Amino acid sequence: MRKLSRYLSTVIFSSITLVLLLLLGLDLIAALIDETDKLDDRYTFLNALQFVLLSVPGNVFDFLPFAALVGCLAGLGALANNSELVVIRSAGVSTARVVWMVMRPALVLMLIGMAVSEYIAPRTESIAQSQRAIALRDAGSVVSEDGLWHREANQFMHFNVVQPNGVLYGVTIFQFNQQRQLQTALYAERAIYQSGQWLLEDLVETRFTAGQLSKVTDRSRSWQTKLSPELLNILVLDPIDLSIEGLYQYAGYLDGQGLNSGSYRLAFWKKVLQPLSTVSLVLIAISFIFGPLREVTMGYRIFIGVLIGIIFRTAQDMLAPASLVYGFQPIYASLVPILVCSVVGCWFLRKAN
């Protein structure tokens, strides 16, 4: 039994890994082609390639459920075509036992993906975004197109470049009063974080008072804000690129500022429930091999796997904005497709027995 379990685990692990590498490769090529539109004397092909490669770890966790579905269909399908599954069942191995043997390598890969998503991907994505922003930065522009906007109380801020080491370039701060009237507009060439506070350098401040306009320049000035380098590293990334801890931390920060944290709560629950997504899709794959896809060709199995994966992803992507618009809990946007897949998989497995 141990040899059989090891054999099945090796086949499934290899199939899922192969599909995952194929998906990552296709995504890398597409992303590199997309970056070619931005190439110029400052942002070269090597810069674009570096940006795309540093973004790869962030896609591993996102592609894993889809890769697990197609990989299980391909791996188990190959065993079914060679009548190996028939031999395994004839040897007295129960369906539940086969399910666990197949599920185990998928869960191992998911745990590896979660580790990459938590500890590697946010760091590499932050470096990628920072280096890309520096390469694309226009020194003559105060507010760049690729910069980052943020609001804190009555302050609206824009950063041209956010580096992960606590250095900002091109800092613009607009201060409004309670009547939403502009009081000051400040621009600093750079801001550095040291000794627990921000220091603005080479700044120009324009003040609007009593219908008059005055300008003040300064070499350096301290800047009081609740933003820390850690929060800025979170802010510069899309919610889906953040770690679970980072999502929870920043959602709490937004709630404290009275801002909408819905998109970050949604990404948080999607990542937390990602292992369940993988389990439900693997369950679907196993049930199809024992049920309606038992005697079809490999190409047809892969086609069905891709179709189910697209439907699953589309359902989650449609429920995600719906939760923000209609105000129901973000957890349901991720949980409903998982429950549907689990019910369908269990139903097919029960029919196969």
For 88-112, the pLDDT digits (tens) are: 777 777 777 888 888 899 989 999 9
Task: Using a cut of 0.75, tell me whether the model's pTM lies above it.
Answer: yes
Q: Is residue 348 part of a domain?
A: yes
Instruction: Please check whether residues 244 and 271 belong to one and the same domain.
Output: no
Q: Domain ends where: 256, 287, 321?
A: 256
Per the document, the length of the chain is 353
- Number of domains, the chain: 2
pLDDT at 20: 94
Instruction: Please check whether residues 203 and 217 belong to one and the same domain.
Output: yes
Residue 146 sits at φ, ψ, to 5 deg, of -95, 10
pLDDT at 293: 64
Q: Domain ends where: 205, 233, 256?
A: 256
Domain extent at residue 224: 129-256
**Spatial CA neighbour of 85 closest among 343, 279, 299, 293:** 293
**Spatial CA neighbour of 40 closest among 113, 132, 153:** 132
pLDDT at 142: 57
Instruction: Please check whether residues 134 and 239 belong to one and the same domain.
Output: yes
Q: Is residue 124 part of a domain?
A: no
Q: Is residue 48 part of a domain?
A: yes
pLDDT at 336: 87
Q: Is residue 150 part of a domain?
A: yes
Instruction: Please check whether residues 167 and 268 belong to one and the same domain.
Output: no
Q: Domain ends where: 228, 256, 284?
A: 256
Q: Which two tokens stand for residue 231?
A: 């929060």
- C-alpha span between 68 and 60 (Å, rounded): 12
pLDDT at 32: 92
Instruction: Please check whether residues 158 and 272 belong to one and the same domain.
Output: no
Q: Is residue 62 part of a domain?
A: yes
Which H or E element spans position 289?
helix 274-290
- C-alpha span between 148 and 150 (Å, rounded): 7
Residue 183 sits at φ, ψ, to 5 deg, of -100, -50
Instruction: Please check whether residues 233 and 139 belong to one and the same domain.
Output: yes
Which H or E element spans position 280?
helix 274-290
Instruction: Please check whether residues 252 and 133 belong to one and the same domain.
Output: yes
Instruction: Please check whether residues 172 and 209 belong to one and the same domain.
Output: yes
pLDDT at 27: 93
pLDDT at 144: 62
Each of the 353 residues of the chain gets a pLDDT tens digit; together they read 678 888 888 899 999 999 999 999 999 999 999 988 888 888 889 989 999 999 999 899 889 999 999 998 888 888 878 877 778 777 777 777 888 888 899 989 999 999 998 889 988 988 888 888 877 776 545 566 667 888 888 889 999 888 877 889 889 999 998 888 888 999 999 999 988 889 999 999 998 877 778 888 899 899 988 888 888 877 778 888 888 888 888 888 778 877 778 788 888 888 888 989 999 999 888 888 877 666 677 777 778 888 888 888 888 888 877 877 777 777 888 888 899 888 988 888 887 66
Q: Is residue 204 part of a domain?
A: yes
Q: Which amino acid is at 67?
A: A
Instruction: Please check whether residues 246 and 148 belong to one and the same domain.
Output: yes
Instruction: Please check whether residues 164 and 209 belong to one and the same domain.
Output: yes
Instruction: Please check whether residues 249 and 147 belong to one and the same domain.
Output: yes
Q: Is residue 218 part of a domain?
A: yes
Instruction: Please check whether residues 153 and 177 belong to one and the same domain.
Output: yes
